Amino acid sequence: MPFSLHFSPTPLITAPSPLSKPFFLVPYYHTLYAPKSPPCSSTEHALTHQGKQEAFDRRPEDSQTLPLGLRRDAMPSHVAVIMDGNRRWARLRDLPVRSGYEAGVESLRKIVEICCKWGIKVLSVFAFSSDNWFRPKVEVEFLMSLFERGMQEDTGIFFRENIRISVIGDLTKLPKALQELMVNLEEATKNNTRFQLIVAVSYSGHYDVVQACQRLALKAKCGLIEPSDINVSLMEQELETNCTEFPHPDLLIRTSGEFRISNFMLWQLAYTELFFAQSLWPDFGEAEFLKALLAFQQRQRRYGV
Amino acid sequence: MWHLLHVTIHLCYFAINIANALESHLISKGLLRRYKSLHISKLQYLAIVIESEDCRTSNVIELLQWLADLGVKHVCLYDMEGILKKSKDFILEKFDGATLFQENDVLLDQPLMTLEFASFSDGKEAVAKAANVLFMKYLKSGSTSSYQGEQIFTESQMGEALKTVGGNGPEPDLLLVYGPARCHLGFPAWRIRYTEIQHMGPLKSMKYGSLIKAIYKFTMVQQNYVKEERQGKTMEWGRTGVDIAKSTTAPLLACFAPRFGK
């Protein structure tokens, strides 16, 4: 079914700077290699490593060329994604469902890379909903192992690329090993400042609101706040998205053509621009992301006030 | 070269707008067969979100009349600032075919449309009040729990608390957003977990054909997906041609399969 947009003003098109590089070049971090041996103390290695590090440090986001039509001043600070369509993607190719999830992880890696390149500060992804616990046990176990494997494999990249990882959701339901991994990764990356990836696992918007109420109730019981102080502002501070400087997504993207938010960040999405993409998540790439960002930048956003 | 590209894209957008307007016109004239029979019974509760600055009661009443003509029985009108709420009596007076929705109303088929009016105070503010209600009950219960990891409130308790403060109506099946921004502008978040959301553009440019198309899209999508999702079993079967062909209703839906297949 064609996705219909109400287009208003034509997106701005600016000619690229003659000195800028095309946006499709392989991003910098793909050319770095994780050191497999302890750092060599030789002068040559130190100078080479220092040169690469300086080059990385010298690369401010402002010098990264944005694709045609995108304006840096209008980039969303926080993008949220409902990564829907992995299983459908696999079924359409007569592949096992796990292949769809693995393809979804690759898609996520690409989008994280693009966000870093284009100066988006926070990306929240709906990796596993509270509702998903009802899926077949084999599938759930595979997903848990996929999360564990993905976080372990990408730890080096998180440190190298200065990416902060935050996990939101009811982690008590997760396997102990995964819980520990997530908590440790959050702690280890908490001072990273270039980009923040928020992974929602065993999460629902209802759960988030209820746990915020719970935290406030305990604070009031301990005398930290008065019961009469409980208001919208205090509620917001206790939501799990208080882990970021930008708790309210500017843009929500849902893939696979579904037009729902499916219990994701219900409170936080009040003024979030909603973009429903037709493609399935493993197929959602740079072109689709660019479309979503262009649509976002076109909108007359009055935030309801 | 850039100017040429600019003009080309501008022409494409113009052509798309013309095509949409033409389609809307054909739908409203009943010339597109597909849209002639709507399974309106699938739409039990409809929410309309309107940007407060665009609230014109004449447009709202016309929209309600269209919905009544289509057979929609239960509608919630929302704008953030509560302008529609303040105009409630005027709207009910001018639009004969409606009564005010009462909280304990069951969503049954009835001769007159029920109308609910909501604003920001029924959303986040109501949740904050409900949190207070929960806390007072928690204090009265004398519970000694102070462990943050222990669950002291449940989602159903929150639902009940919201009812107490008047902030928990039915969950809309479909939410239509009239305004420039494609967001739900603070509609009571507790109620839109699985609500289908469609952006309709500014209220002043509303078209009957676009309304029919939006409702039609909803009735075709709802098939299997949301039912399972609401039961806590998320499935993604309902949208693809392959999956629909495998279902027991294949003969009925086969003519729509090409629309959904990738």
Q: What is the CATH number of the domain that holds B48?
A: 3.40.1180.10
Q: For the segment A130-144, what is each residue's pLDDT rounded down to a tens digit?
A: 999 999 999 999 999
| Nearest one of A125, A126, A130, A124 to A173, comparing CA atoms | A130
Residues 6+ apart with CB under 8 A from A296: A74, A76, A250, A251, A273, A275
CB contact under 8 A, A232 and B151: no
Q: Euclidean distance between the first and final Cα of chain B, in Å?
A: 35
Q: Which of A15, A172, A216 sits opposite B131 (nearest CB)?
A: A216
Residue B253 is assigned to a structural domain of this protein: no
B61 with B176, same domain?
Answer: yes
Whether residue A230 is contained in a domain is answered as: yes
Q: Which two tokens stand for residue A86?
A: 């992995």
Number of structural domains found in chain B: 2
Residues B11 and B132 in one domain: no
Average pLDDT of adjacent 10-residue blocks, chain B of 262 residues: 67 76 75 74 94 90 94 94 93 86 66 90 92 86 58 88 87 94 91 94 92 91 54 41 36 37 30
Burial class (CB in 10 A: 0-12, 13-18, 19+), B40: middle
- Distance (Å, whole) CA A285 – CA B95: 48
Would you give the DSSP letter of residue B14? H
Please check whether residue A20 lies inside any domain of the structure: no
Quick check: is A58 in a domain? no
Q: Which residue of B has its CA nearest to A89?
A: B262
What are the chain A neighbours of B127 within 8 Å (beta carbons)? 209, 232, 235, 267
Which of the two residues, B231 and A195, has the higher pLDDT score? A195
Check residue B123 and give its pLDDT: 92
Looking at the fold, whether B5 and B106 belong to one and the same domain comes out as no
The active-site residue out of A57, A73, A84, A154 is A84
pLDDT value at residue A24: 36
Residue B233 near chain A (CB below 8 Å): yes
Q: Are residues B45 and B32 in the same domain?
A: no
Among candidate residues B59, B249, B151, the one with its CA nearest the CA of residue A172: B151
* pLDDT of amino acid B261: 32
| Calpha distance B161→B176 (Å, rounded) | 27
Q: Could you read off the pLDDT of A104-125 as tens digits, one per residue?
A: 999 999 999 999 999 999 999 9
Residue B147 to chain A, least CA–CA distance (Å): 8
Cβ–Cβ below 8 Å for A259 and B198? yes
A95 assigned to some structural domain = yes
Q: Is residue B109 a part of any domain in this protein?
A: yes
Q: Does B190 touch chain A (CB under 8 A)?
A: yes
| Residues B174 and B73 placed together within one structural domain of the fold | yes
pTM: 0.80
Least Cα separation, residue A46 to chain B (angstroms): 46
Q: What is the pLDDT of residues A13-52, one digit of tens each?
A: 333 333 333 333 333 333 333 333 333 334 444 444 444 4
pLDDT of residue B17: 75
Residues B67 and B107 in one domain: yes
B74 occurs within a structural domain: yes
Mean pLDDT taken over chain A: 82
CATH number at residue A127: 3.40.1180.10
Q: Are residues B207 and B167 in the same domain?
A: yes
The total of structural domains in chain A comes to: 1
Looking at residue B141, what is its pLDDT? 76
pLDDT at res. B108: 63
For residue A288, tell me if it sits in a domain.
yes
Cβ within 8 Å, pair B132-A227: yes
Q: Edge-to-edge strands of the sheet including B74-78?
A: B98-100, B113-118, B74-78, B46-50, B174-178, B196-201
- Residues sharing a CB contact under 8 Å with residue A57, sequence separation 6 or more, in sequence order: none
Residue B101 lies in a domain: yes
- Is B231 among the domain residues? no
> Does A84 participate in catalysis according to the annotation?
yes
Tell me whether B90 touches chain A (CB under 8 Å): no
A154 in a domain, yes or no?
yes
| A243-257 residue pLDDT tens | 999 999 999 999 999
pLDDT of residue B211: 95
Same domain, B60 and B175: yes
Q: Judge whether residue A305 has pLDDT over 70.
A: no
Range of the domain at B31: 1-36
Residue of A140, A214, A222, A231 to mutate when probing chain B, most B C-beta within 10 A = A214
Residue ranges making up the domain that contains A159: 77-296
Q: Is B9 in the same domain as B55?
A: no
Decide if B261 is inside a domain.
no
**Whether B89 and B180 share a structural domain:** yes
**Mean pLDDT (whole number) for A57-77:** 73
Rounded CA Rg of chain A = 21
Please answer whether residues A264 and A205 qualify as being in contact, where contact means their C-beta atoms are separated by less than 8 angstroms: yes
Q: Does residue B117 sit in the same domain as residue B53?
A: yes
B166 shares a domain with B76: yes
